[in-house]
Amino acid sequence: MAGEVKTQQNQDLTMVVHFKDDIPWTPTTQLRQIDLADEADVAFMYETRRHPKVAQWLLGNPPASMDAHRQWLKSKVPASRLIYLLIHEGQRAGYCQVYDFTKETVEVGFAVHPRFHSMGLGTEMANLLLPEIGKFRAGRKVILYVRPDNIPAVRLYEKVGFVKISTKTDENGVTLALYEKAD
Ligand SMILES: CC(C)(COP(=O)(O)OP(=O)(O)OC[C@H]1O[C@@H](n2cnc3c(N)ncnc32)[C@H](O)[C@@H]1OP(=O)(O)O)[C@@H](O)C(=O)NCCC(=O)NCCS
Does ligand 1 have an atom closer than 6 angstroms to the CB of 149?
Answer: no
d(CA 78, CA 76): 6
For domain 2-181, give the CATH number: 3.40.630.30
Domain ranges of the chain: 2-181
Helix axes 66-76, 39-50, angle to 10 degrees: 110
Does ligand 1 have an atom closer than 6 angstroms to the CB of 112?
Answer: yes
d(CA 30, CA 19): 25
Is 57:147 a contact under the CB 8 Å cutoff? Answer: yes
For 110-158, how does the pLDDT look when each residue is reduced to its tens digit (9 = 90+)? Answer: 999 999 999 999 999 999 999 988 877 788 999 999 999 999 999 999 9
Does ligand 1 have an atom closer than 6 angstroms to the CB of 86?
Answer: no
For 45-73, how does the pLDDT look when each residue is reduced to its tens digit (9 = 90+)? Answer: 999 999 999 999 998 889 999 999 999 99
**Which pTM was predicted?**
0.87
Nearest CA to ligand 1 atom 26: 152
